[in-house]
C-alpha cells in the first residue's frame, strides 16, 4: 500500500486515526487526511516520530512567521539571479520545476544577500506551491495533485560550486525542505551531471532522506529518451528537446525559468566596519571556544535586536534563555533561536527575537567548531521594550518599541 488516502492498509488506517487523536491540539480545519498522511509516510507510519516531526514543524512555522510569508518582499538579487521556475507538467499532471542549477553564482549570491533570506525565499516558494499551485492543478485535472518533479540541469557545474558557504546554504535548504515539506517531491531528475558530480552528491546526500535519495534519477548528457518517460517534449523548452520557446524565440524560456548567471558586483554588500556601528563592541572569540553575551529582559514581549560582523571567517550564532540563576551550557538552556553558522564575514548579520518571557537571555557566538582560528567580532545588541503608552492607543502599531538598554 502506498500510504495515500485512497490506498491504505487496515494498519495504516488505524495509525491515521491514532495520529489524529495525538495531534488534535495543533490541527487546523485545513489539515485533512492527505495532509496528515504526508507526515506519517515521511516517518514510515511511526506514530512517535511522525508526531515529533509535525510538532517541530508547527513550532517552526510560528517562530519563522510562515503564515505571513506572502507579505515578505524577496530581495531583488535573489529574484533576478536564483535559478529555476515552474514550467509545464509531467505525464501524470504534476507540476515541474526546471532548475539550471549549474549556472548559479553561489558566491556572488551570498555576498549580496543573507543566507537566511535565500532560505526564506525557498520557503515562500514552497508555501505558494502548496497553497496555490497544487490546488489549481488539482482543480484543473479533477484529481489530487500534491507533489512536483524537479529537473536539475547541471550543465556548467564546476568546482567553483563547491564553495563551502554556498554548499552549506544549499544543505540547509535541503534540510528545511525535508523537515517541513515532506512528501512534496515526486522525483528529482538530474541531467548533464559532470564527472565530479559524485563528489558533490556525496556532500549533499547525508541531508537527504532515504526516500528522497530513492526518488533521484541521475543522467548524463544522453538524457532525452529517459527524460521523456517522465515529461513529454510538449511540456519542455526547446533547449531540452521540447517544443516551447519564449515569444522572442529564446529556447531556454528565461521569462519563466531563472537562468542564474554571475551576480553583478553592484549587488555585493561591503564588509561592515566597527566604526559603522555606533557603540559597537569589538571582541575576539578564541579558537574552540564561545562567547555568551547576556541580556536581561525584565518586561514580557520585549525584543532583542542585534547587528554583528566578523573578520575573515564565519561564526555560529544562537539565542537562548537561562532556566537557572547560574551560568549554563547551551544545551542546558531554553533554545530561543537555534544556533547555526552564518557568513557574517561576507554579509553583516542583523536580526531580532521577541521575548515572550522575562529572564536572562544569552546571545551565543559559537567558535567551538574551529580549532585553528580565532574570530574577531564587532557587535551591537539592544533590548527594546514595548512602548506601553502606544499600546493604549488602538490605532498604534503593535510593533512599536523603545530602546531600553544595550547589552
Q: Which CATH class is domain 69-267?
A: alpha beta
Residue 272 DSSP class: P
CB-count burial class (<10 Å; 0-12, 13-18, 19+) for 1: exposed
Distance CA 82, CA 196 (A): 23
Cα 401-339-212 angle, rounded to 5 deg: 120
Helix (H) or strand (E) holding 49: helix 47-63
Residue ranges, comma separated, of all CATH 1.10.8.20 domains in the chain are 10-63
Q: Nearest to residue 277, comparing CAs of 326, 328, 344, 331?
A: 344
Residue ranges, comma separated, of all CATH 3.40.525.10 domains in the chain are 69-267
Q: Nearest to residue 267, comparing CAs of 40, 76, 26?
A: 76
Model pTM greater than 0.85? no
Distance CA 38, CA 185 (A): 11
Residue ranges, comma separated, of all CATH 2.60.120.680 domains in the chain are 274-406
Give rounded-to-5 percent helix, strand, coil for the chain. Answer: 35, 25, 35
Q: Which three cell numbers stand for residue 37?
A: 498522511
Fold of 274-406: Jelly Rolls (2.60.120)
User: In the sheet that 315-321 helps form, which strands lie side by side, from edge to edge?
Assistant: 290-297, 359-366, 315-321, 334-342
Q: Tell me the pLDDT of the chain (407 aa) as tens digits.
A: 888 888 999 999 999 999 999 999 999 999 999 999 999 999 999 999 999 999 999 999 999 999 999 999 999 999 999 999 999 999 999 999 999 999 999 989 998 998 999 999 999 999 999 999 999 999 999 999 999 999 999 999 987 888 878 888 999 999 999 999 999 999 999 999 988 788 788 888 888 888 899 999 999 999 999 999 999 999 999 999 999 999 999 999 999 999 999 999 999 875 444 445 567 899 999 999 999 999 999 988 888 889 898 988 999 999 999 998 888 888 899 999 999 999 888 877 888 888 889 999 999 999 999 999 999 999 999 888 775 443 333 343 344 455 566 78
CB-count burial class (<10 Å; 0-12, 13-18, 19+) for 59: exposed
| CATH node for 10-63 | 1.10.8.20
Distance CA 366, CA 51 (A): 31
Amino acid at each position: 500500500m502506498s500510504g495515500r488516502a485512497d490506498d491504505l492498509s487496515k494498519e495504516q488506517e488505524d495509525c491515521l486515526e491514532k495520529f489524529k487523536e495525538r495531534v488534535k491540539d495543533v490541527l487546523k480545519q485545513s489539515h485533512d487526511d492527505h495532509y496528515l498522511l504526508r507526515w506519517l509516510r515521511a516517518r514510515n507510519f511511526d506514530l512517535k516520530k511522525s508526531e515529533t516531526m509535525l510538532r517541530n514543524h508547527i513550532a517552526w512555522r510560528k517562530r519563522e512567521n510562515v503564515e505571513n510569508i506572502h507579505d515578505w518582499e524577496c530581495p531583488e538579487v535573489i529574484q533576478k539571479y536564483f535559478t529555476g521556475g515552474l514550467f509545464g507538467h509531467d505525464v501524470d499532471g504534476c507540476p515541474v520545476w526546471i532548475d539550471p542549477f549549474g549556472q548559479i553564482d553561489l558566491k556572488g549570491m551570498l555576498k549580496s544577500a543573507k543566507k537566511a533570506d535565500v532560505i526564506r525565499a525557498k520557503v515562500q516558494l514552497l508555501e505558494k506551491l502548496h497553497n496555490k499551485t497544487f490546488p489549481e492543478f488539482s482543480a484543473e485535472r479533477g484529481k489530487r495533485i500534491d507533489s512536483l518533479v524537479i529537473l536539475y540541469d547541471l550543465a556548467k557545474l564546476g568546482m567553483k560550486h563547491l564553495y563551502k558557504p554556498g554548499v552549506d546554504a544549499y544543505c540547509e535548504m535541503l534540510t528545511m525542505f525535508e523537515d517541513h515539506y515532506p512528501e512534496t517531491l515526486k522525483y528529482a531528475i538530474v541531467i548533464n551531471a559532470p564527472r565530479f558530480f559524485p563528489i558533490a552528491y556525496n556532500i549533499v546526500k547525508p541531508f537527504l532522506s532515504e526516500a528522497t535519495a530513492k526518488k533521484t534519477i541521475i543522467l548524463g548528457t544522453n538524457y532525452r529518451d529517459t527524460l521523456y518517460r517522465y515529461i513529454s517534449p510538449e511540456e519542455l523548452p526547446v533547449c531540452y528537446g521540447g517544443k516551447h520557446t519564449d515569444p522572442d524565440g529564446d529556447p531556454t524560456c528565461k521569462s519563466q525559468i531563472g537562468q542564474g548567471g554571475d551576480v553583478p558586483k553592484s549587488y555585493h554588500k561591503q564588509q561592515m566596519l566597527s566604526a559603522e556601528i555606533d557603540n559597537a563592541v569589538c571582541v575576539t572569540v578564541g579558537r574552540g571556544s564561545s562567547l555568551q553575551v547576556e541580556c536581561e529582559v525584565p518586561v514580557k514581549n520585549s525584543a532583542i535586536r542585534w547587528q554583528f560582523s566578523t573578520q575573515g571567517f564565519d561564526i555560529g550564532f544562537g539565542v537562548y534563555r537561562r532556566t537557572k540563576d547560574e551560568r549554563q551550557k547551551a544545551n542546558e538552556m531554553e533554545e530561543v533561536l537555534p544556533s547555526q553558522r552564518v557568513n557574517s564575514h561576507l554579509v553583516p548579520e542583523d536580526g531580532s527575537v521577541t521575548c515572550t518571557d522575562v529572564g536572562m537571555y544569552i546571545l551565543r557566538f559559537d567558535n567551538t567548531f574551529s580549532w585553528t582560528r580565532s574570530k574577531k567580532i564587532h557587535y551591537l545588541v539592544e533590548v527594546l521594550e514595548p512602548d506601553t503608552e502606544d499600546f493604549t492607543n488602538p490605532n498604534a502599531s503593535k510593533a512599536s518599541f523603545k530602546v531600553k538598554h544595550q547589552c
